[in-house]
Chain A
C-alpha cells in the first residue's frame, strides 16, 4: 500500500475516492461523535426529579432493555396461544361439536408494537389525505376559478395545529363511528384523521403549482389531438406534474409523522406518542432514558420514511435528472 501511494498517478486516482470516503463516512461519524460527546457532558450536568438526564450510555442500555421486554412479551404471547390451542384441542377431542373460543393475547404492547402501530396509523392518515389532496390539487391547477374558490380555505386551514383539531375530531369520531364490532379503534381513527387533516395541504398546494405550471405547448398538443378531458388528465396532466406531486407527498408525510406523535399523546391511541406519555406518567428512573430512545426512533423513522418516498419518486418520476434531495 505504501508503495502504491508513492506512485503519483495512482495517488491522483486515489484522491477523489479518498475525498468521497471522507465525505460519506468519516465526516458524518465525526459529527455524530462530537454530538454524543456534547450530549454526555450536558446530560451529566442536568439533574431532574427523575434522576440524572440520560446520556448516550443510558439510552443505549434502555434500548437493550426495551428489546428484552419485547422478546419476553412475545414469549408470553406464544405460550398463551399454545395453551389456548391445547385447551381447544382437548375440548374438541371430547366433543367435536363444542363451540371453541379464540381469544387474542391482551398483554401490554411493547415498544416495537408501538412503532408498528404508529407506522400503520401514519400511513392510514397519509393515504386518506393523498386520496383527497391529489385530485383536489389537480382541479385547482386546471381551473383558475376552482383555485380562487378553494385557495382561501387552504390558506386558513394550512397553519392550524393538529392539537386544535384533535378535540373536534375526537368528538366527531365518537359521534359518527358507532359500531358494535368496530374494525378500527376510535382512538386510532381520531389520530389517523388528525394526521390526514394536517398532511392534506402540502400535497394540495404542490400539486396545484405543478399542474398550473405545465408547459403550455404540451397542453396545446393535447388540444390539437383532441384528447378527452379524462385522457388529458391521465396522459398529460398527471405525468407532467408527477415531480411536484411527489414533492408535496414528501412534505405531507413528514408533516404527518410529526403530527402523529402529538395526536397519539392526546388521543391515547397506542403508538410512540402514547409510549412517551406513558413513560412520562410512569416516572421511573428509566423513564427519561426510554423517552430518549423513542425520540431517536421517531427521528430515524422520519428519515427512513422520507428516503422511502424518494425511492418511490425515483421509480415513478420521468424527471431523472432532477436532483433528488
Chain B
C-alpha cells in the first residue's frame, strides 16, 4: 500500500546574518492514513519547521513532501493548521472565525445554508456552540483553542497539523482538550501530526511518537510505536505497563541521550543516533 503522506529526505537551510544555518538534515517520515503522529524534541530542534514545511508555509531546501501522490508546493486547506496561540481573528466572533475559513474553502461546493450547518456542526464537535457570538477576548484560552480546532476541522483537511496546540493551557484544560482531540480523532479518523513538549500527552494521543535529535542539522532520532488499544483512558493507562514503557523510552531519549548541548552530560552517543535512526517496538 502506498504511503499517504511521505516526508522525503528534507533538508532545511536558513540564511542568517552569520551564514547559512542547517536546521534540518535528512528528515524522513512516512505516515499512513488515519495515523496520529507526535513530533517531540527539545526546543529549537526544528519540529515547527517540519510542520511548516508539511503545511506549505515554508519551502524545504532539499527534498519534499508528497501527500497522496502529489507534491506539496503551497499552503492549502487540505493541511489545516491549529496554531499554538489559537490565531483567531480578534475582531471576528467565534462563528465568524470559522465562517471565514468555511466560506473560503467551500465557496464553490456548499450553499449558504449548508455552510451554516457545517460551521455549527464543527463548533458542536468541540462543544463551543453555546458561545458562537462571543469575541475571542471574551472566552478562555481553552475555549479559543477549541475554536481553533473547530476551524481547522471545518476545512475537512486530509492532514491536521497541530503546533503545540495545548502548550499554552493549564493542566486541567489541557487534559479536557486532549480527551476531546482523542474523541474527534476516533470519530473522524483524521491523519494528525502534532508537535508537543509533553511526554504524557504524546504517549496518550499518538500511534507513533517521532523523536527528533537536537539541532543544528536535526533529524528523526527514534520512532516509538504506541500499541495501545483505543479508546484510551488516561486514568486506566496510568498503571499500564505498555504506557509506562513508552513513556520511559521517550524520557530516555529526551533526557539521557539527547540533552541539548550545554545541559548535557558525559554522553557521546549522539552521533551514532543521528547516523542510524532506529525504530523501537514497544509491545
Contact = CB atoms under 8 A, between A and B. Distances in A.
Interface of A: 215, 217-218, 220-221, 223-227, 231, 235-236, 239-240, 242, 318-319, 321
Given A217-B83, A220-B81, A226 B104 contact: yes
A217 B90 contact: no
Main secondary structure of the interface of B (DSSP, over half): loop
A227 B104 contact: yes
B85 A224 contact: no
Contact of A239 (B74, B76, B91, B155): B91
B282 interface: no
A318 B75 CA distance: 28
B232 interface: no
Contacts of A236: 89
A224 B160 CA distance: 12
Contacts of B57: 220, 223-224
A235 B55 CA distance: 22
26 contacts: A215-B87, A217-B85, A218-B87, A218-B89, A220-B55, A220-B57, A220-B81, A221-B81, A221-B83, A221-B89, A223-B75, A224-B55, A224-B57, A224-B75, A225-B77, A225-B100, A226-B104, A227-B104, A236-B89, A239-B92, A240-B89, A318-B90, A318-B135, A319-B90, A319-B91, A321-B137
B91 A224 contact: no
Interface in B96-127: 100-101, 104-105
For the complex of A and B, the 8 pairs showing the least CB-CB separation, nearest first, are A318-B91, A217-B87, A223-B75, A225-B104, A239-B91, A225-B101, A217-B83, A224-B75
A220 B92 CA distance: 16
B224 interface: no
Contacts of A318: 90-91, 135
A224 B71 CA distance: 16
B155 A225 contact: yes
A223 B81 CA distance: 11
Interface string B47-85: 000000001110000000000000000111101110101
Contacts of B104: 225-227, 231
Contacts of A242: 91
B90 A224 contact: no
A161 B105 CA distance: 50
A220 B85 contact: no
B79 to A, nearest CB: 7
B76 A220 contact: no
Contacts of A223: 56-57, 74-75
Contacts of A235: 89, 100
Given A318-B135, A321-B137, A226 B89 contact: no
B137 A225 contact: no
Nearest to A232: B104
B119 to A, nearest CB: 13
